[in-house]
Amino acid sequence: MAKPRVVLGVSGGIAAYKACELLRRFTESGYEVRVVPTAAALHFVGEATWAALSGNPVSTRVWDDAHEVPHVAIGRHADLVVVAPATADTLARAAHGLADDLLTNTLLTATCPVVFAPAMHTEMWEHPATRDNVATLRARGCVVIEPAVGRLTGADTGKGRLPDPDEIFEVARRVLARGPAEPDLAGRHVVVSAGGTREPLDPVRYLGNRSSGKQGYALARTAVARGARVTLVAANTALADPAGADVVTAGTAEQLREAVLKAAADADAVVMAAAVADFRPAVYAAGKIKKRDGEEPEPLALVRNPDILAELAAHRPRPGQLVVGFAAETDDVLSNGRAKLARKGCDLLVVNEVGEHKAFGSEENAAVILGADGSEVAVPYGPKEALADQVWDLVAARLT
């Protein structure tokens, strides 16, 4: 089979050096990559580096190999165009259809999906002109990844950092897998919870569960690739932040509830994939609970945690908001799932069987997605991103 053809556009920002790692991810994963840097990008990383890492000649000007008409051919023959980093200047020129170098010509001739990974100072990202340009590109079907929060040039810190190259690659891979389909979640804000809450017993111990957060993170990454603005509320995970998602951390069920309700205020859909503790200790011990010779421990009294899913479903902060829950069951999976769907009042419930080597911590999952309308969609065992895509298919159809 022919290798997927990717054009990697690199514009002139200090984050250009990170694009080298992104390029390596593409080539090592079997993609054919053509690098198109701007003149400014070559001040940060030289042409020889791009050529050596890609194994292909590097085009920088419309006049290079003019007989091959590169300003038309490169974009026309691509399966995917990724611009990383995308500076404020590149976003502006792309939004306004300017074509004064090879990269912007390529963007004008590309008929394939286009992904922009912006990187710039916070003030530039938040400027109304940049926000308008981003909105224009998204309205045309481009995927513009939200930048990360972190260290910028010099001592500055804020939103505008290029996301981790591995995470940009994951978004690009998902966009390429979807092919020419329009980003069906463009213009939507979705909230996803992930991981497992922990309820402290004392300064050392807690009540927790085995959720790794991988399914929630797959939901977040897939939503970004489909054009959504994503808020990920993550509870006690050890995973890299998905590119393009605004990540809010939480520890306990109460903290997760507060974060989810705040983020859900303007959300089109909320997907509760986190494993939230049903109970918490009635009393928190300020000091470590000691083991005493010859004495049995005191019985542990528990109290109920708030039911976040039921609360969301019953009190939706905006009309038409969709609420999706997850149900981890160990027996009578479907009957318990149907009962939970009716009890919680959500629109969709993803029911999966859990246990040793099932769901928790693995890269694969299988589930049945139950709808409040009586529908049932079985998702066979496979990558968690496949289940995530199926969830978003059902959400997108209902939002439309």
- Residue ranges of the chain whose pLDDT lies below 50: 67, 69
228 and 161: one domain?
Answer: no
From the list 105, 133, 209, 352, the catalytic residue is 209
For residue 288, what are the CA distances in angstroms to 125, 203, 270? 47, 6, 37
Q: What length does the chain have?
A: 400
For β-strands 322-329 and 229-235, DSSP reports them as: unpaired
67 and 131: one domain?
Answer: yes
pTM, full prediction: 0.90
Residues 6 or more apart whose CB falls under 8 angstroms from that of 319 comprise none
Strand partners for 80: 6
Q: Among 150, 178, 206, where does a domain finish?
A: 178
194 and 174: one domain?
Answer: no
> Would you state the structure tokens that stand for residue 297, as one six-digit string?
């421990």
pLDDT tens per residue across span 237-273? 999 999 999 999 999 999 999 999 999 999 999 999 9
Q: 133: closest CA among 92, 164, 172, 191?
A: 92
pLDDT tens per residue across span 133-191? 999 999 999 999 999 998 888 778 899 999 999 999 999 999 999 888 889 999 999 99
Supply the angle between the helices 47-54 and 18-28 in degrees, to the nearest 10: 20
Q: Phi, psi (5° rounding) for residue 124?
A: -70, -40
> What's the CATH number where 300 sits?
3.40.50.10300
Chain centroid to CA 255: how far?
21
253 and 170: one domain?
Answer: no
> Would you state the structure tokens that stand for residue 83, as one six-digit string?
């611009």
249 and 218: one domain?
Answer: yes
184 within domain boundaries: no
Number of alpha carbons in the 13 Å side-chain half-sphere of residue 104: 16
> What's the CATH number where 47 sits?
3.40.50.1950
Residues 6 or more apart whose CB falls under 8 angstroms from that of 373 comprise none
Number of folded domains that form the chain: 2
Question: Are 328 and 275 in contact, with CB atoms under 8 Å apart?
Answer: yes
Give the residue numbers spanning the domain of 148. 5-178
Q: Given this model, what pLDDT does residue 394 score?
A: 97
Q: 274: closest CA among 239, 321, 227?
A: 239
Catalytic (active site) residue 336: no
For residue 110, what are the CA distances in angstroms to 104, 107, 207? 10, 5, 52
Q: Given this model, what pLDDT does residue 124 score?
A: 95
Q: Given this model, what pLDDT does residue 152 score?
A: 84
252 and 308: one domain?
Answer: yes
173 and 194: one domain?
Answer: no
> Would you state the structure tokens that stand for residue 8, as one six-digit string?
């990697």
158 and 209: one domain?
Answer: no
Q: Given this model, what pLDDT does residue 355 score?
A: 60
268 and 370: one domain?
Answer: yes
